[in-house]
Protein backbone atom coordinates (compact mmCIF):
# COMPACT_ATOMS: atom_id res chain seq x y z
CA UNK A 1 0.00 0.00 0.00
CA UNK A 2 1.52 3.32 -1.12
CA UNK A 3 0.11 6.56 0.24
CA UNK A 4 0.68 10.30 0.18
CA UNK A 5 0.32 12.48 3.29
CA UNK A 6 -0.75 15.88 2.02
CA UNK A 7 -1.05 19.06 4.04
CA UNK A 8 0.60 22.38 4.83
CA UNK A 9 3.77 22.70 6.95
CA UNK A 10 2.94 21.82 10.56
CA UNK A 11 -0.09 19.68 9.65
CA UNK A 12 1.49 16.62 11.28
CA UNK A 13 2.67 14.70 8.20
CA UNK A 14 6.00 13.69 9.71
CA UNK A 15 4.46 12.67 13.04
CA UNK A 16 1.80 10.53 11.40
CA UNK A 17 4.30 9.02 8.96
CA UNK A 18 6.40 7.95 11.96
CA UNK A 19 3.40 6.22 13.50
CA UNK A 20 2.69 4.36 10.26
CA UNK A 21 6.30 3.23 10.06
CA UNK A 22 6.01 1.75 13.57
CA UNK A 23 2.53 0.27 13.20
CA UNK A 24 2.68 -1.04 9.63
CA UNK A 25 6.34 -1.36 8.75
CA UNK A 26 5.84 1.20 6.01
CA UNK A 27 8.77 3.15 4.58
CA UNK A 28 8.70 6.93 5.04
CA UNK A 29 10.00 8.92 2.09
CA UNK A 30 10.34 12.50 3.31
CA UNK A 31 11.94 14.75 0.71
CA UNK A 32 12.40 17.39 3.45
CA UNK A 33 14.46 14.91 5.53
CA UNK A 34 16.47 13.86 2.46
CA UNK A 35 17.21 17.48 1.56
CA UNK A 36 18.16 18.36 5.17
CA UNK A 37 20.54 15.35 5.19
CA UNK A 38 22.14 16.57 1.94
CA UNK A 39 22.46 20.05 3.42
CA UNK A 40 24.09 18.75 6.63
CA UNK A 41 26.52 16.46 4.83
CA UNK A 42 27.44 19.32 2.50
CA UNK A 43 27.01 17.54 -0.84
CA UNK A 44 26.95 19.73 -3.97
CA UNK A 45 23.19 19.33 -4.10
CA UNK A 46 22.92 20.17 -0.40
CA UNK A 47 24.88 23.38 -0.91
CA UNK A 48 22.69 24.28 -3.85
CA UNK A 49 19.41 23.89 -1.94
CA UNK A 50 20.43 25.28 1.48
CA UNK A 51 19.49 28.93 0.94
CA UNK A 52 16.27 28.03 -0.88
CA UNK A 53 15.16 25.76 1.97
CA UNK A 54 16.07 28.25 4.69
CA UNK A 55 13.99 30.89 2.93
CA UNK A 56 11.03 28.50 2.82
CA UNK A 57 10.83 28.21 -0.95
CA UNK A 58 10.46 24.98 -2.89
CA UNK A 59 13.54 23.41 -4.46
CA UNK A 60 13.30 22.35 -8.11
CA UNK A 61 11.05 19.52 -9.21
CA UNK A 62 14.02 17.87 -10.90
CA UNK A 63 15.95 17.52 -7.63
CA UNK A 64 13.12 16.06 -5.54
CA UNK A 65 11.86 13.77 -8.30
CA UNK A 66 15.42 12.41 -8.61
CA UNK A 67 15.58 11.77 -4.84
CA UNK A 68 12.26 9.90 -4.87
CA UNK A 69 13.15 7.90 -7.98
CA UNK A 70 16.29 6.60 -6.23
CA UNK A 71 14.33 5.52 -3.13
CA UNK A 72 11.61 3.74 -5.06
CA UNK A 73 14.18 1.13 -6.06
CA UNK A 74 14.98 0.43 -2.40
CA UNK A 75 13.24 -1.52 0.35
CA UNK A 76 9.45 -1.01 0.21
CA UNK A 77 8.41 -2.82 3.43
CA UNK A 78 4.68 -2.46 3.97
CA UNK A 79 4.54 0.27 1.33
CA UNK A 80 5.78 3.80 0.84
CA UNK A 81 4.53 6.89 2.66
CA UNK A 82 5.23 9.97 0.60
CA UNK A 83 5.69 12.73 3.17
CA UNK A 84 6.12 16.23 1.77
CA UNK A 85 6.15 14.93 -1.80
CA UNK A 86 4.62 15.65 -4.26
CA UNK A 87 4.37 19.40 -3.70
CA UNK A 88 3.64 20.54 -7.28
CA UNK A 89 1.47 19.22 -10.09
CA UNK A 90 4.61 18.33 -12.08
CA UNK A 91 5.83 16.23 -9.12
CA UNK A 92 2.44 14.54 -8.87
CA UNK A 93 2.53 13.61 -12.56
CA UNK A 94 6.09 12.34 -12.20
CA UNK A 95 5.17 10.20 -9.18
CA UNK A 96 2.29 8.67 -11.12
CA UNK A 97 4.65 7.76 -13.94
CA UNK A 98 7.34 6.37 -11.64
CA UNK A 99 4.84 4.15 -9.83
CA UNK A 100 3.30 2.98 -13.08
CA UNK A 101 6.72 2.08 -14.44
CA UNK A 102 7.29 -0.07 -11.34
CA UNK A 103 3.87 -1.69 -11.69
CA UNK A 104 2.92 -0.12 -8.35
CA UNK A 105 -0.20 1.80 -7.41
CA UNK A 106 -1.04 4.84 -5.33
CA UNK A 107 -3.64 3.62 -2.86
CA UNK A 108 -4.68 6.78 -1.01
CA UNK A 109 -3.90 10.44 -0.67
CA UNK A 110 -4.61 11.53 2.87
CA UNK A 111 -5.20 15.24 3.29
CA UNK A 112 -4.53 16.45 6.84
CA UNK A 113 -6.90 19.39 7.26
CA UNK A 114 -5.83 22.11 9.70
CA UNK A 115 -6.13 25.88 9.94
CA UNK A 116 -3.37 28.43 9.58
CA UNK A 117 -3.45 29.70 13.17
CA UNK A 118 -2.74 26.19 14.43
CA UNK A 119 0.11 25.75 11.96
CA UNK A 120 1.86 28.88 13.12
CA UNK A 121 1.43 27.84 16.78
CA UNK A 122 2.74 24.33 16.10
CA UNK A 123 5.77 25.47 14.19
CA UNK A 124 6.71 28.15 16.66
CA UNK A 125 6.22 25.50 19.41
CA UNK A 126 8.39 23.00 17.50
CA UNK A 127 11.21 25.55 17.32
CA UNK A 128 10.83 26.37 21.04
CA UNK A 129 10.85 22.66 22.02
CA UNK A 130 13.97 21.99 19.95
CA UNK A 131 15.85 24.80 21.68
CA UNK A 132 14.54 23.77 25.14
CA UNK A 133 15.83 20.23 24.50
CA UNK A 134 19.31 21.67 23.97
CA UNK A 135 19.21 21.41 20.19
CA UNK A 136 18.70 23.96 17.46
CA UNK A 137 15.46 24.80 15.68
CA UNK A 138 15.07 24.05 11.98
CA UNK A 139 16.49 26.97 10.01
CA UNK A 140 13.11 27.44 8.31
CA UNK A 141 11.04 27.28 11.53
CA UNK A 142 10.85 31.04 11.96
CA UNK A 143 8.03 33.43 11.27
CA UNK A 144 9.47 34.90 8.06
CA UNK A 145 10.22 31.55 6.39
CA UNK A 146 6.93 30.17 7.61
CA UNK A 147 5.04 32.88 5.72
CA UNK A 148 6.87 31.89 2.55
CA UNK A 149 6.27 28.17 3.20
CA UNK A 150 2.54 28.76 3.66
CA UNK A 151 2.37 30.83 0.48
CA UNK A 152 4.30 28.15 -1.45
CA UNK A 153 1.82 25.59 -0.11
CA UNK A 154 -1.27 27.53 -1.17
CA UNK A 155 0.12 28.52 -4.56
CA UNK A 156 1.82 25.32 -5.65
CA UNK A 157 0.76 22.38 -3.44
CA UNK A 158 -2.90 22.96 -2.58
CA UNK A 159 -3.93 22.43 -6.25
CA UNK A 160 -3.01 18.78 -5.63
CA UNK A 161 -6.13 18.47 -3.48
CA UNK A 162 -8.29 19.00 -6.55
CA UNK A 163 -5.99 16.87 -8.69
CA UNK A 164 -6.26 13.82 -6.43
CA UNK A 165 -9.93 14.44 -5.73
CA UNK A 166 -10.58 14.22 -9.47
CA UNK A 167 -8.57 10.99 -9.62
CA UNK A 168 -10.73 9.56 -6.82
CA UNK A 169 -7.77 9.08 -4.45
CA UNK A 170 -8.39 11.85 -1.91
CA UNK A 171 -9.38 11.14 1.70
CA UNK A 172 -9.66 14.06 4.11
CA UNK A 173 -8.80 13.64 7.79
CA UNK A 174 -9.26 16.18 10.58
CA UNK A 175 -5.68 17.15 11.42
CA UNK A 176 -6.79 19.28 14.37
CA UNK A 177 -7.75 16.23 16.44
CA UNK A 178 -5.27 14.72 18.93
CA UNK A 179 -2.26 12.88 17.51
CA UNK A 180 -3.80 9.50 18.39
CA UNK A 181 -7.19 10.40 16.96
CA UNK A 182 -5.59 11.52 13.70
CA UNK A 183 -3.69 8.20 13.63
CA UNK A 184 -6.97 6.31 14.16
CA UNK A 185 -8.66 8.23 11.34
CA UNK A 186 -5.77 7.41 9.02
CA UNK A 187 -5.89 3.74 10.06
CA UNK A 188 -9.62 3.69 9.28
CA UNK A 189 -8.94 5.02 5.78
CA UNK A 190 -6.19 2.48 5.15
CA UNK A 191 -8.24 -0.44 6.47
CA UNK A 192 -11.42 0.50 4.60
Could you list the active site residues?
A: 13, 87, 126, 138, 149
Q: Which is nearer to ligand AMP, 52 or 187 (CB)?
A: 52
Q: Is 123 in the site for ligand AMP (CB under 6 A)?
A: no
Q: Is 9 in the site for ligand AMP (CB under 6 A)?
A: yes
Q: Which is nearer to ligand AMP, 111 or 140 (CB)?
A: 140
The backbone region for 174, taken as left when phi is positive above 0, alpha when psi lies in -120 to 50, beta otherwise, is beta
What gap in Å lies between CA 57 and CA 17, rounded to an integer? Answer: 23
Q: Positive or negative, the Cα torsion across 28, 158, 48, 71?
A: positive
What gap in Å lies between CA 132 and CA 122, rounded to an integer? Answer: 15
Find the part of the chain contacting ligand AMP (CB under 6 A) among 52-60, 105-113, 115-123, 175-183.
52-60
Virtual torsion, Cα 80, 81, 84, 86, nearest 10 deg: 50
Instruction: State in angstroms the smallest separation of the CB of 11 from ligand AMP.
Output: 10
Residue nearest ligand AMP by beta-carbon distance: 32
Instruction: State in angstroms the smallest separation of the CB of 49 from ligand AMP.
Output: 7
Q: Is 160 in the site for ligand AMP (CB under 6 A)?
A: no
Q: Is 149 in the site for ligand AMP (CB under 6 A)?
A: yes
List the interface residues with ligand AMP, window 61-80 (CB under 6 A).
64
Query: How far, rounded to the nearest angstrom, does the alpha carbon of residue 81 sit from its chain's CA centroid?
Result: 9
Q: How many beta carbons lie within 10 A of that of residue 13, not counting itself?
A: 24
Total interface residues for ligand AMP by CB under 6 A: 17
Cis preceding linkage at 86, omega within 30: yes
Q: Answer yes or no: are the C-beta atoms of 113 and 10 closer than 8 Å.
A: no
Q: Supply angle C-alpha 114, 95, 17, rounded to 5.
A: 40
Select the residue interacting with ligand AMP from 2, 16, 31, 185 (CB under 6 A). Answer: 31
Q: Is 84 in the site for ligand AMP (CB under 6 A)?
A: yes
Residues lying near ligand AMP in the complex (CB under 6 A) are found at 9, 31-32, 35, 52-53, 56-59, 64, 84-85, 87, 91, 140, 149
Amino acid sequence: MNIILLGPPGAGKGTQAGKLVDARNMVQLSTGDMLRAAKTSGTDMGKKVAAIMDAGELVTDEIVIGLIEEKLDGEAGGGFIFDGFPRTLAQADALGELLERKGATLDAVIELQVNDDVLVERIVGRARDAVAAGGTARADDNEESLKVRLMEYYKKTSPLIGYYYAKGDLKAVDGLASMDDVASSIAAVLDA
